Amino acid sequence: MAISEMRRVTVLGHIHRMAQVVEAIHALGIMDIIEFGEGMPDDERSGLVVPDEVEKRATELDSIIADLGHALEFLAVRRRVAEGMLENFTGSRIYLTEAEWQSETTNPWDKARQIHAQAHTIEGAIAEAAEAINRLQTSINILEPWRNLDSPVESIEPSKHVVAMLATADVRMYRASLESAQEQVPGLAWQVISEGREKAHLLLAYPASQGEAGASAIAAVGLDRVSLDQFRGLPAHILEDLKAQLKTVETRRAEMEADVDALARLRPTIYALYDYFVNEKAKLDIVHSFGGTKRTFAVEGWVQATHMERLRGTLQALADDIVVLDRPPLDDEVPPVELTNSRLLEPFEVVTKTMGLPQPGTLDPSPYLGPFFLVFFGLAMTDAVYGIFIAAVALWLKRKTRQPNSKFLNLVFMAGLTTVAVGALLGGWLGDLPARLFGIRTAILFDPMESPMSFLILSFALGIVQILFGICLKAYQNIRTGQWLAAIYDQVFWLTFIIGLGLALGGGALGPGGAAVAAVAKYVAIASAIGLVATQGRHHRNPLMRLGSGVLSLYNITGYMSDVISYARLFGLGFTSTVLAFVLNDLMLKPAGIPIIGPVIAVIGLAFSHLFNILINIIGAYVHSCRLQFIEFFGKFFESGGRRFVPFGFSAKYVDIDRSTV
């Protein structure tokens, strides 16, 4: 239940052992490799001279990774995987046993090149077919209005005696315009080949002897001359030929879908190969972090102390000339942070990591926030049936996604179970449904609808407990690091002041003896206030500044009061969930009296309405439970800023491997 102890590790060896060492470290996945000589002056570092063959190999790997990535992009467009809500939640990943992984990555280069060639060929053929279809369709669209032209298109051109042309004109105006032009150009004739909604397609001719007069008159009409020089023959015949070609190309294009399907069936193999080559590339890239000479290499990093002997034994078993040195971090070194908790407490690391990792040497808040987070979540939901549903969905997702150890899903499962307990205590079983149907009142502690003030007081009480606990944790942290006086001045005095002030103001409500408790608490609060005034300005040398800072520090009590008030959000969320459940029951049970169909409508309505209530409240319950940890609780002791421990090892974008099947 703490931050893992880290050891600074240096591995030394002959250069010809480097590949073996990299492979072993990658397989172990327990060493966070850092830049060699990190923290040393640049002129004292001795960077490894990376051999040319390593750089060449890295370039080849980049190329094959890009090829496989392109194949996946092609399939993403042509054969998109149908993704439902579950896939959107988990991502597009495949699950392989160790044997399946080994099978998929056997002869990886040959498989990858074959897949790339196959994808490239299919993509090229599809692109070529698409271009041909587009070209043919464009030609058909151009010629279709001229289908009824009974002369070969190449014959429509000026001759010695006649000027002939094809043109389009505004369908609403061309007749009047041409009739007017006909008066100016004797012998002008035209034929309407077709009319559309906006354009008329015309064949025009006039005597060549009209010369410029004819051309000017035609221009005045506003015709758009059309050229079909790219075609030969009658438009009807050309169209038949083009449509036959289009049908052939479309048939061939449809047949290519079978090739795409065949490639799509290789998607798991492509996923495996992609992740395989990415990891192979990582093994080459990591050597740029090494130090060494032409004959030796050195690699530095961090390893959890509990894994140190495993690393040493594995590497030294490779060869006698491999040296593994380790030491604790120096005072000026900041090791990475890895949280280590029991299986029961691991899920709460999800909440901690949302805020950031603690600094090395400080407290991991995960085990301390756990009970509070669960209770707060339960109070925000306030319904046992909702909790059963949440826990069941979490279990189903763990099985469906093959992630039995998912910290997030385990957290949701535990939150669901806590919601069951809280709901049972507060009488929430689909709101007040048992009372409506059977007249049973199920609240054990109190009913939020009947005693909202009790609910609010409970929320405040839990807030006070968590805030005081946070102060205690800070005191423990100071004591652990030898800062006893800081623990007394900055935490103990505040603890006694807050508790004393609270009991002095409210101790009389404790019943018999409450007045005596309040009297004692008043003096405790006064003594604590004097202690705070005397110590909170101790960082000032000037006595007046020291006294002034001490007096002003008492104003911080308003901050603690504000923190406590923040816990009213638990009351707000829980009460809203309860009220909405009551209203939904009232609305959905109204049709129940209708013969035959009424009960069916009521059951369906209740199911969907309460599902809606769960969905709109679960996000608020999670977010606000986290917020109370981050702001009100963590603010009392948490020191963020730790760097995540990232061991060099297998990393995959698409594949999850079940190593237990080895």
pLDDT one-digit tens code per residue, 125-168: 999 999 999 999 999 998 998 898 888 888 888 777 888 888 88
Q: Kindly report the backbone phi and psi dihedral angles of residue 337, in degrees, each rounded to the nearest multiple of 5, phi listed first.
A: -115, 130
Amino acid 547 reads: L
Q: Say if residue 241's pLDDT is above 50.
A: yes
Give the confidence band of 661 by pLDDT, cuts at 50, 70, 90: low
Q: Say if residue 86's pLDDT is above 70.
A: no
Of the given ranges (37-51, 276-290, 455-469, 514-528), which has the lowest mean pLDDT?
37-51
Length of the chain counted residue by residue = 662
pLDDT one-digit tens code per residue, 623-632: 999 999 999 9
Whether the Cβ atoms of residue 571 and residue 456 lie closer than 8 Å to each other: yes
Measured between alpha carbons, how far apart are the two ends of the chain, in Å? 31
As a whole-number percent, the residues of the chain with pLDDT over 90 amount to: 54
pLDDT of amino acid 531: 87
* Structural element, H or E, at residue 600: helix 597-627
Q: Say if residue 243's pLDDT is above 70.
A: yes
Mean pLDDT of 360-377: 95
pLDDT of amino acid 542: 80
**Number of CB atoms found within 10 A of residue 486's CB:** 18
pLDDT of amino acid 292: 84
pLDDT one-digit tens code per residue, 473-504: 999 999 998 899 989 988 999 999 999 888 88
Distance CA 11, CA 313 (A): 12
Q: Say if residue 430's pLDDT is above 60.
A: yes
Specify the 3-state DSSP secondary structure of 169.
Answer: strand
Q: Say if residue 662's pLDDT is above 70.
A: no
In the chain, list all ranges with CATH 3.30.70.2750: 157-227
Mean pLDDT of 288-298: 88
Q: Say if residue 285's pLDDT is above 70.
A: yes
The dihedral built from the CA positions of residue 627, 628, 629 and 633, taken in this order, carries a sign that is positive
Write down the pTM of the prediction: 0.81
Give the confidence band of 176 by pLDDT, cuts at 50, 70, 90: confident
Mean pLDDT of the residues in the chain: 88
Mean pLDDT of 193-201: 86
Domain spanning 157-227, CATH architecture: 2-Layer Sandwich (3.30)
Whether the Cβ atoms of residue 86 and residue 401 lie closer than 8 Å to each other: yes
Whether the Cβ atoms of residue 382 and residue 452 lie closer than 8 Å to each other: no
As a whole-number percent, the residues of the chain with pLDDT over 70 amount to: 95
Whether the Cβ atoms of residue 291 and residue 298 lie closer than 8 Å to each other: yes
Q: Say if residue 46's pLDDT is above 90.
A: no
**Number of CB atoms found within 10 A of residue 108's CB:** 16
Distance CA 280, CA 286 (A): 10
pLDDT one-digit tens code per residue, 327-355: 999 988 899 999 999 999 999 999 999 98
Distance CA 573, CA 377 (A): 10
Amino acid 633 reads: F
At a CB cut-off of 8 Å and minimum separation 6, what does 508 contact? 514, 515, 518
Specify the 3-state DSSP secondary structure of 513.
Answer: coil
Q: Say if residue 509's pLDDT is above 80.
A: no
Mean pLDDT of 368-392: 96
At a CB cut-off of 8 Å and minimum separation 6, what does 520 contact? none
pLDDT of amino acid 47: 64
pLDDT of amino acid 131: 93
pLDDT of amino acid 82: 47
